[in-house]
């Protein structure tokens, strides 16, 4: 519907005011007129068969759709926009296309289309600016047409303000007429340049109206551009950490210049490569199932590359995906050191890491995108000689984007998937056997004791929660009992009072009877 509505909005006023243009291309205009009418009619047919939401439920029944559309104000507006006002050509002549002005009643349909496009585009701010410029263009176009019509009414060339005399060959062509009027109108609305001083009352009124509209246009431009800039700044604040606050903190605490330079380089890396560090905050407003689907589509392929998670059930991986935390390491920064206790595993999303010796210079291997390490440290496997400690020094070569998965998160997820827990532990044992880091004869008493202590702590925590709930229920029961007793006492008083009234009424009737 964008084409026919924009066509009517621009061409109807153009043909009305510039009669030379209207008559010179009359067959073209008539063809486009009735083509747009045909599109209006098709739009009504499509609208009858378009579903609508009723209390969140999509209505698709044809009978309900017809009833909903035929009893709406939109149907009346659509019918009015297709009334055969072209028959007035026989009264006013073919050179008066203003008889089709009712076609502009479909403009709300254009606004609906633009709003839906804005919600679907990946660049909403650019779209808003473009839409504003189109509106301003149409406004200047209408004003240019009205200026030419007013000049024709006053008389071409009668003074300096109106359009020059069309008998002059320089101003006689249709192209010059339109471009001159458009330039004149744009000059007024943009308040750029010196406007010609009007001389007649009609000219003064036209200029006053134009200047008032120009104020609104200027305010709209400034307001919309300001909103776009604000939204861009808000977007950056949501996507990236606030660099200015960190700078102020570093200055106030007199941090060394070298460390400040490293921090500045880290921020620069985030901005240049459009790294997002606050995914959880950005997606926080979405429902849980939508957040899960987004996380699965973004991170599941990466998680599936980890050896111990391969062939695991999809529901387990979906739970683990929500636990992944993105991290960025700077050049030369150690991800882990040999002998450290491992509390998380890492998956390389982007960048390169080096496995280095204790001197920090000798490189044994280079890990790149898709590699992972530390997966054994987050599994409590009996007989692990390393005791869940890191067995190598791993340092970032450049900027590296990693995903980390903590031992606590994995333990919480595996508590709901006991079969997967056994499967992962078995895979971990196989890896340790290949590395020669598994004690086959070991009892793993310490690990077992640790597991028992964890279970006892969990049971104690659950018991405390149950005790709190029981105390709350007892208090609610006692409160309800007191309210019930008070209600019973009140009812007894009301019954006693009612019995007294009945006795007095009976005595009164007896006295009347004896009387």
What does pTM read for this prediction? Answer: 0.52
Domain ranges of the chain: 1-117, 121-239, 279-435
CATH architecture type of domain 279-435: Sandwich (2.60)
**Alpha-carbon radius of gyration of the chain:** 40
Confirm whether 121-239 and 279-435 share one CATH topology. no
Q: Indicate the CATH number for domain 121-239.
A: 1.10.287
- Torsions phi, psi of 422, nearest 5? -65, -40
DSSP H helices, 155-200, are 174-190
The CB-side HSE value for 134 (13 A sphere, CA atoms) comes to: 14
Q: Which residues of the chain have pLDDT under 50?
A: 442-445
| pLDDT one-digit tens code per residue, 304-361 | 777 667 777 777 777 777 788 888 888 888 988 888 888 888 888 888 899 998 888 8
pLDDT of residue 278: 59
Enter the DSSP assignment of 393. E
DSSP string, 333-377: -EEE-TTPBP-EEEEEEES-EEEE-TTS--EEEEE-TT-EE-TGG
56 φ, ψ (degrees, to nearest 5): 85, 0
341 phi and psi angles, rounded to 5 deg = -75, 130
Tokens of 120: 């679907």
> In angstroms, rounded to a whole number, what is the distance separating the alpha carbons of residues 455 and 452?
5
* Confidence (pLDDT) at 449: 54
What's the confidence (pLDDT) of residue 411?
Answer: 82
Output the pLDDT for position 11: 92
What is the model's pLDDT at position 307? 66
Length of the chain: 515
Distances (CA, A) of 459 to 355, 411, 419, 456: 41, 15, 21, 5
Q: Report the DSSP beta bridge partners of residue 52.
A: 59
């Amino acid at each position: 519907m964008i084409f026919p509505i924009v066509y009517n909005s621009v061409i109807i006023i153009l043909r009305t005011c510039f009669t030379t243009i209207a008559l010179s291309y009359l067959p073209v205009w008539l063809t486009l007129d009735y083509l747009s009418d045909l599109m209006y009619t098709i739009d009504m047919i499509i609208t009858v068969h378009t579903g609508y939401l009723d209390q969140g439920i999509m209505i698709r029944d044809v009978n309900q759709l017809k009833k909903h559309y035929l009893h709406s104000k939109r149907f009346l507006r659509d019918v009015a926009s297709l009334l055969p006002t072209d028959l007035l050509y026989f009264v006013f002549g073919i050179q008066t296309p203003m008889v089709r002005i009712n076609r502009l009643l479909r403009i709300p349909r254009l606004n609906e289309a633009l709003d839906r496009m804005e919600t679907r585009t990946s660049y909403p701010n650019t779209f808003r600016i473009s839409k504003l410029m189109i509106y301003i263009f149409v406004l200047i176009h209408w004003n240019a047409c009205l200026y030419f019509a007013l000049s024709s009414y006053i008389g071409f060339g009668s003074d300096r303000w109106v359009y020059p005399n069309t008998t002059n060959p320089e101003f006689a062509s249709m192209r010059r007429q339109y471009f001159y009027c458009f330039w004149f109108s744009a000059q007024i609305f943009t308040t750029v340049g010196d406007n010609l001083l009007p001389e007649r009352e009609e000219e003064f009124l036209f200029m006053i109206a134009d200047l008032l509209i120009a104020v609104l246009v200027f305010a709209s431009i400034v307001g919309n551009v300001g909103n776009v800039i604000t939204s861009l700044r808000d977007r950056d604040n949501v996507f990236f950490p606030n660099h200015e606050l960190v700078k102020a903190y570093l200055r106030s605490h007199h941090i060394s210049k070298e460390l400040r330079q490293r921090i500045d380089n880290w921020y620069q890396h985030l901005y240049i490569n459009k790294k997002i560090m606050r995914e959880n905050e950005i997606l926080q407003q979405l429902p849980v199932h939508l957040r899960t689907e987004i996380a699965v589509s973004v991170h599941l392929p990466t998680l599936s590359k980890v050896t111990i998670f391969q062939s695991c059930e999809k529901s387990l991986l979906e739970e683990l995906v929500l636990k992944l935390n993105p991290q960025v390491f700077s050049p030369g920064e150690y991800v882990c050191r040999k002998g450290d206790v491992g509390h998380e595993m890492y998956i390389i999303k982007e960048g390169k890491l080096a496995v280095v010796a204790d001197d920090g210079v000798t490189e044994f291997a280079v890990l790149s995108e898709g590699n992972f390490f530390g997966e054994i440290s987050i599994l409590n496997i009996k007989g692990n000689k390393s005791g869940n400690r890191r067995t190598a020094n791993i340092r970032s070569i450049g900027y590296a984007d990693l995903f980390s998965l903590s031992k606590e998160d994995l333990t919480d997820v595996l508590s709901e998937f006991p079969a997967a827990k056994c499967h992962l532990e078995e895979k971990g044992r196989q890896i340790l056997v290949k590395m020669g880091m598994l004690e086959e004869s070991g009892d793993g008493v310490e690990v077992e004791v640790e597991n028992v202590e964890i279970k006892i702590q969990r049971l104690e925590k659950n018991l405390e929660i149950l005790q709190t709930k029981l105390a709350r229920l007892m208090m609610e029961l006692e409160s309800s009992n007191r309210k019930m007793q008070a209600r019973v006492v009140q009812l007894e008083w009301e019954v006693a009072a009612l019995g007294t009234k009945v006795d007095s009424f009976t005595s009164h009737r007896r006295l009347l009877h004896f009387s």
